[in-house]
Amino acid sequence: MSDLPRKAVTRTAKLAALPLGIAGRATWGLGKRIVGESAEIVGRELQQRTADQLFKVLGELKGGAMKFGQALSVFESALPEEIAGPYRATLTKLQEAAPPMPGRTVHAVLAERLGENWRDLFLEFEDKPAAAASIGQVHRGVWHDGREVAVKVQYPGAGEALLSDLNQLSRFARLLGPLVPGMDVKPLIAELRDRVSEELDYGLEAQAQQVHAEEFDGDPDVVVPGVVHQTDQVLITEWMDGIPLAEIISDGTEEQRNRAGQLLARFLFSGPARTGLLHADPHPGNFRLLPGGPDGEDDWRLGVLDFGTVDRLPGGLPVTIGEALRMTLDGEAETVYEMLCEEGFVKESIELDPDAVLDYLLPIIEPAQVDEFTFTRGWMRSQAARVADPRSPAYQLGKQLNLPPAYLLIHRVTLSTIGVLCQLGATVRLREELEEWLPGFVPEAEEERAAEA
């Protein structure tokens, strides 16, 4: 019997306690205001206490609770430093680990899925998990042909726990929203819930990972472990060492941070162009920095893990994104506005000022305006504050824009990747990657001239 759901009642009770705790702290905050403390100080303390409890609970649970925590963790850089600082360590733990499943449960799953003689398939198998995630944990082993492997074992009951947690979290999404300024939590939870069946299907994950492994085989910048064996609830892939990106964020050198940031941006934009798939879970726990790139041991490559969530984009990223981005940079307000209307970003019932829309977009795409941009938590916080302040014109305009379903996952992946780049504090030549990989960003005439040359 798995300890993932423990008892469904216990999980539900822990999650249900979150809004009660938030309400209790709000009452406490009101009391502090009555006795004369400033609204700003009380609000900051209230937010910090709420965040502490939220990430403590999410860190104790697997399933949808942890998945939601991981998704939120990449937006840590949008939070005020006095709030983010105290629980940054908790967020790092969410990205890398969870309480392990008992050995007897792991053995039972392996016996059921690989056969009673499953140990004969391995020369070595470590019972202690090397890593634990939201729906499964990873054990290190040596396959019968001598290859070092990662054995990913899905928690029994993972599907029920995922859905239960996300349904529970969606009920009080409004209360969690203020933790991440400028981020609408409810669509994030809904989108995570919609992806549950894909996450649980290790066949789909194996297929997506193998497509990437073959495409990036021998690549000087990106490494994807190949798939060794797959059944329901068990996925065996080649083992990959390296420095977890969370460690680079906390202790990496400037060179490591910049290299990791550049390669992360490169993978984000080149992946769909090369494989027709977008890796859709870009939190730091899914990346490693590996020594030994094209320039020797002192160079670095990016190792990529976990292809459980991907967006299928057969033609690569939509050409509309590249065209709209280029035209925004060129100040073509009317053309950009028409394109946004055609794609459904502006509903037919709403009419907006094209110049105001341009003013709203330009600060967000600042990293694409220059040859080299340094992503910082300060920049991320300024963007979040700009779109989250009800007094701001950007807030009022942002409320009227719409995100079409086809762009939901692309939007979240882009935001999440920017969040990780800001956590890294990386200096990145983003425009270079856009020109190389984003359809529509370079005008067709220029592309044709470059191809002829």
Does the predicted model carry a pTM greater than 0.85?
Answer: no
Residue 195: what pLDDT? 72
Domain shared by 58 and 189, yes or no: yes
Report which of 354, 368, 290 is spatially closest to residue 325, judged by C-alpha positions: 368
Q: Round the CA-based radius of gyration of the chain to a whole number and report it.
A: 23
User: Residue 334 — pLDDT band, cuts 50, 70, 90?
Assistant: very high
- In a domain, residue 240? The reply is no
> Alpha helix locations (H) across 35-141?
39-60, 63-73, 81-96, 103-114
194 lies in the same domain as 328 = no
Percent of the chain with pLDDT over 70: 68
Least confident piece of the model among 70-84, 97-111, 156-170, 321-335: 70-84
Q: Which residues contact 150 (CB under 8 A, 6 or more apart)?
A: 130, 138, 139, 140, 141, 225, 236, 237, 238, 239, 240
**pLDDT for position 446:** 56
Structure tokens at 111: 């016996």
Residue 142 to residue 150: CA distance in whole angstroms: 8
In a domain, 221, yes or no: no
Active site residue 281: yes
Judge if 196 and 323 occupy the same domain: no
Tell me the pLDDT tens digit for each residue of 24-73: 433 333 333 343 343 443 344 544 555 555 555 554 555 555 566 666 65
Token pair for residue 160?
């029920």
pLDDT digits (tens, 9 = 90+) for 336-367: 999 999 999 998 888 999 999 999 999 889 99
Does 150 map to a domain?
yes
* DSSP secondary structure letters along 175-204: HHGGGSTT--HHHHHHHHHHTHHHHH-HHH
For residue 138, give the 3-state DSSP assignment. Answer: strand
Q: Rounded to 5 degrees, what angle do the CA atoms 255, 224, 93 make?
A: 65
Rounded to whole angstroms, the Cα distance separating 329 from 342 reads 19
Q: Of 139, 166, 200, which one is at a domain's C-terminal end?
A: 200
Rounded Cα distance, 275 and 271, in Å = 6
Task: Give the domain range for residue 22.
Answer: 1-200
Query: What is the three-class DSSP state of 428?
Result: strand
Question: What's the chain's average pLDDT?
Answer: 80
Sole residue written with tokens 């044709």: 448
* Inside any domain, residue 18: yes
pLDDT band at 303 (very low <50, low <70, confident <90, very high): very high
Which pLDDT belongs to residue 217?
97
Write the CA distances from 437 to 41, 262, 430, 431, integer angstroms. Answer: 46, 13, 11, 10
CA dihedral (86, 88, 93, 94) in degrees, to 10, reads 110
Q: How many domains does the chain have?
A: 2
Q: Is 308 inside a domain boundary?
A: no
Tokens of 365: 């795409």
State the average pLDDT over residues 296-312: 87
For 370-400, what is each residue's pLDDT tens digit?
999 999 989 988 888 888 777 888 888 888 8
Within 13 Å and on the Cβ side, how many CA atoms surround 18?
A: 25
Q: Which stretch, 13-22, 129-138, 358-367, 405-414, has highest mean pLDDT?
A: 358-367
Which one of the listed residues 165, 281, 306, 311 is annotated catalytic?
281
What pLDDT, on a 0 to 100 scale, did the predictor assign at position 174?
62
How much of the chain exceeds pLDDT 90, in percent?
48
Residue 303 pairs with which residues in a beta bridge?
223, 288
Domain end (from 159, 176, 200): 200
Q: Does 70 reside within a domain?
A: yes
**What was the pLDDT predicted at 121?**
97
Whether 215 is in a domain gets the answer: no
pLDDT digits (tens, 9 = 90+) for 94-133: 544 456 778 899 999 999 999 999 999 999 999 999 987 6
253 contacts 425 by C-beta, under 8 angstroms: no
**Mean pLDDT (whole number) for 272-289:** 93
3 and 141 inside one domain: yes
In a domain, 404, yes or no: yes
Phi and psi at residue 308, to the nearest 5°: -70, -25
Model confidence at 179: pLDDT above 70: no
**Which residues are CB-contacts of 296 (< 8 A; sequence separation ≥ 6)?**
none
Q: Which of 200, 225, 260 is the last residue of a domain?
A: 200
User: How far apart, in whole angstroms, are the C-alpha atoms of residue 95 and residue 74?
Assistant: 9
What's the pLDDT score for residue 22?
38
- The one-letter amino acid code at 145 reads D
The strand pairing partners of 230, in sequence order, are 235
Of the ranges 28-32, 63-67, 160-164, 262-266, the best mean pLDDT one = 262-266
Angle CA 121–305–238, to nearest 5: 25
